[in-house]
Structure 1
């Protein structure tokens, strides 16, 4: 009589290789993201946030590959994903601005010329403001006005409005 180990030895080996690949690739991607953050003087909290996004995305891909290794048919995977995406899509349609801000936060991580500590001027016809960037989060920027008030400004608006750098004063952070 064959044991489960004998029956599924090939699947077990493939699974071990897949998860080792996941661990190694995740480690390499974390180092790359931290390197980009350090070279660009990006806030460590933003670096950690992008690292989490990449890890979750990579884990979802690994779980999809693992399902294929274990013998799940592609049409079954398609059925599950289409059902999940339909439900999630309907739910996320109601909160599209949150997704817009998260996406803007990821874009700003890689190509945002302003850093924490910089004084900027946002040219908004309804609400022009001049403030110092205190924090750049996943959803919004925290801006400190000259009078001491704290303003949160959505990331997606930051990419849509014209912004002028008034004074560069980026803060150095420890990445180790």
Structure 2
């Protein structure tokens, strides 16, 4: 078997692994959405972020298989990340909000329609969670006000959840 055939087989194996990971992550996100009563739109956004990461990893592996020098690839990726880092420096809060929303999606006990109190040293906010988005958590208070809290702030606060029996 010559090297070209071996590279083709390795590429097919990487693509099959990518498809398997894609199906597994889609199933995991769908299960999380249905178990936690989250909006399907939020699940779609999380799936897109995970798929983007998977595609990037898959492309890097395929480039390595087909003989792109690893040092050249590392320099290219480093340069790309540097440019993105500089371009997004002013938008760091957007990146932290996206990361926080992923953490909230998979690992936070607060769900839609929960009544919560956000405990702060200056004041407390009580309300019902009406939406959990990528950038913001929206609470509706008893007075009918709508409070928008950035995801990265929400994840840092102590939250008291009202348990409905």
| Pairwise TM-score range, normalised by the shorter structure | 0.7 to 0.9
* Cα RMSD for the two superposed structures: 2.2
Which structure 2 segments of 5+ residues have no match? none
The alpha carbon displacement at 1:141 in A equals 0.6
> Which residue number corresponds to residue 110 of structure 2?
114
The alpha carbon displacement at 1:21 in A equals 2.1
The alpha carbon displacement at 1:120 in A equals 1.1
> Which residue number corresponds to residue 146 of structure 1?
142
Alignment of 1:33-44 (within 5 A): 33-44=29-40
TM-score (norm 2): 0.87
The count of aligned residue pairs is 164
The alpha carbon displacement at 1:44 in A equals 2.3
The alpha carbon displacement at 1:99 in A equals 1.1
Higher relative contact order (CA 8 A, sep 6+): 1
Matched, 1:156 2:152: yes
Q: Secondary structure of 1:71's match?
A: coil
Q: Out of 59-68 and 138-147, give the one that drifted further.
A: 138-147
For the 8 Å contact 1:120–1:167, the answer to whether it is kept is no
Task: After superposition, give the CA deviation of every residue in 1:97-147 in whole Å (9 maximum; x if it has no partner).
Answer: 111111111111121111111111112244532111111011111111222
Q: Secondary structure of 1:160's match?
A: coil
Equivalent residue in structure 2 for 1:19, among 15, 19, 28 = 15
TM-score (norm 1): 0.82
What is the CA–CA distance in structure 2 between the aligned matches of 1:101 and 1:10, rounded to whole Å? 43
**Closer, same or farther: CA 168–97 of 1 in aligned 2, 3 Å:** farther
Which structure 1 segments of 5+ residues have no match? 1-5, 170-176
What is the CA–CA distance in structure 2 between the aligned matches of 1:82 and 1:89, rounded to whole Å? 10
What is the CA–CA distance in structure 2 between the aligned matches of 1:92 and 1:143, rounded to whole Å? 29
Q: Secondary structure of 2:38's match?
A: coil
What is the CA–CA distance in structure 1 between the aligned matches of 2:43 and 2:139, rounded to whole Å? 19
